[in-house]
Amino acid sequence: MSRTVMKLAKEGVQHIAGLARLKLSPAEIEQYAKELTAIVGYIEQLNELDTKNVEPTYHVVPAKNVFRKDEIKTSFTPDELLSSAPDHDQHAIRVPKIIEAL
């Protein structure tokens, strides 16, 4: 692989890590850059395939809708649902805070 591809891969890893709020060490950036470059190289091989006579598909195997009919059924009342919640306030289930401000 050329140096340009590796540099772009490293920048891409840093960009993605920034979006995900991940702190990666230089060694991790290098590792992920190599892996990303290998993946892109593998995918590039697909461009070499002749697909002129291949019909586009959404699924490689036949698929059919397996959803049930949409029927109106009786449901639980809010009080019945909240009765099984460990903690609730009026009509809302209270859960622990999992996200902290930076």
Looking at the 3D structure of the chain, how many domains does it have? 1
Is residue 54 domain-resident?
A: no
Averaged pLDDT of the chain? 85
Is residue 14 domain-resident?
A: yes
Is residue 8 domain-resident?
A: yes
Is residue 7 domain-resident?
A: yes
Q: What residues make up the domain containing 27?
A: 3-48
Averaged pLDDT for residues 54-81: 84
Give the pLDDT score at 54: 85
Is residue 16 domain-resident?
A: yes
DSSP for 55-99, please give it: PP-S-SS-----PPP--------HHHHHTTSSSEETTEE------
CATH number at residue 44: 1.10.20.60
pLDDT tens track for 6-35: 566 888 899 999 999 999 999 999 999 999
Averaged pLDDT for residues 46-66: 83
Residue 16: name the closest of 5, 4, 28, 2 by CA. 28
Is residue 56 domain-resident?
A: no
